[in-house]
Amino acid sequence: MKLEIKNLTKIYPRGKKKALDSVNIEIGEGIFGLIGRNGAGKTTLMRIIATIMDATEGEIYYDGKELKTNKEELRSSLGYLPQSTKLMPRLNIVEFLDYVCIMKGIKDKAERKAKIEEAIETVGLVGEEKKRLGNYSGGMLRRAGIAQALISEPKLLIIDEPTTGLDPEERLYFLNLLSKIANDRTIIFSTHIIADIEHLCKNICVIETGEVKYLGDKTEFMDGIKGKTWEHSGEPGDENILRKEAVVTSVAYIDGKPLVRYVSEKPVTEASVIVTPSLEDAYIFALGGIKR
Ligand SMILES: Nc1ncnc2c1ncn2[C@@H]1O[C@H](COP(=O)(O)OP(=O)(O)OP(=O)(O)O)[C@@H](O)[C@H]1O
Ligand SMILES: [Mg+2]
């Protein structure tokens, strides 16, 4: 599925500033990473794409069809997992997925059973069928959400910050699961964890205070600061001097001494050595440097 977002602006009724400001994004098949800090506008954008909320200005096209005038049709090929997934706490996974099947119009009981078993197997919830969803952990709930999406077979899957609050093992399991189900599908997933998009997405969008700061290939994103990324190891206070001269992307303290990474055309100090830019460097640079 091809998604075209054109000049999208959102102003909330009681919002002080624009939550989205003339956003232009094209998204094709595969996993697309939407990354940005808290309040960047990720959820706002996803809710508009998922037809839950209208934009103030601008248009979205799904495979050339305008969203606003084709909402019902688009909803049938759309899956949306909101930031806080509650699902149905009193049901167990089998009952829940059976409900999803029925909503989808699958009348044959044996067909439903087979579909449910397959989905539970894919997301790794075998053995957890009797537990109520209300007693599932955060990671299990995210997986249940994916199972639901698999049953609905959406061409477009929108997942809002699925890795927040997951332990490292569960997080990796979940990311692998996403790549497993990404075939011939468009998955948009948002995060503020840079490592999430490291292996998963080819194309990314960096968004900050409602504006697109970068859109495109992840590797090209890093190449943009190649030959301009430096590391300086020095004395306490150096980090503040460097901040005035360059865009600092990270400061780590080792035995009380700062190790500063920064982006600049030329090295700012004699002690600086050139380093290979990381995705994190590129990201923080796109956001204008570290805040704190
Ligand atoms: N219902 C609302 N009314 C007014 N302002 C809102 C509303 N929802 C969000 N906003 C504002 O819109 C901006 C974007 O919020 P949004 O929730 O889309 O960000 P986000 O990138 O999803 O953040 P997070 O990472 O914290 O989930 C923020 O400034 C937020 O305060
Ligand atoms: Mg959000």
Beta strand pairing status for 78-81 and 156-160? parallel
- What does the block give as tokens for 263? 């982006």
What are the tens digits of pLDDT across the range 44-77? 999 999 999 999 999 999 999 999 999 998 888 8
| Proximal ligand: closest to the CA of 38 | 1
What are the tens digits of pLDDT across the range 176-234? 999 999 988 999 999 999 999 988 899 999 999 999 999 999 999 999 999 999 999 99
- Delimit the domains of the chain by residue range: 3-217, 224-286
Compute CA distances 257 → 120, 238, 246, 251, 272, whole Å.
50, 9, 19, 10, 14
- The CA angle 24-73-46, to the nearest 5 degrees, is 35
Q: Which comes out higher in pLDDT, residue 259 or 86? A: 259
Ligand 1 centroid – CA 41 distance (Å): 6
Ligand 1 centroid – CA 56 distance (Å): 15
Would you say 230 and 274 are in contact if contact means Cβ atoms under 8 Å apart? yes
Considering only CA atoms, which residue is closest to atom 26 of ligand 1? Answer: 38
Rounded Cα distance between 180 and 175, Å, is 9
| pLDDT for the residue numbered 187 | 95
CATH 3.30.70.260 fits 3-217, yes or no: no
| pLDDT for the residue numbered 292 | 64
Ligand 2 centroid – CA 161 distance (Å): 7
> What number does the ligand 1 atom closest to the CA of 83 have?
27
Q: Which residues contact 221 (CB under 8 A, 6 or more apart)?
A: 204, 206, 214, 279, 282, 283, 286
Q: Which of 205, 197, 190 is nearest to 157 (CA)?
A: 190
pLDDT above 90 as % of the chain:
79
Pocket of ligand 1 (CB under 6 A): 12, 14-15, 19, 36, 38-44, 83, 192
| pLDDT for the residue numbered 150 | 87
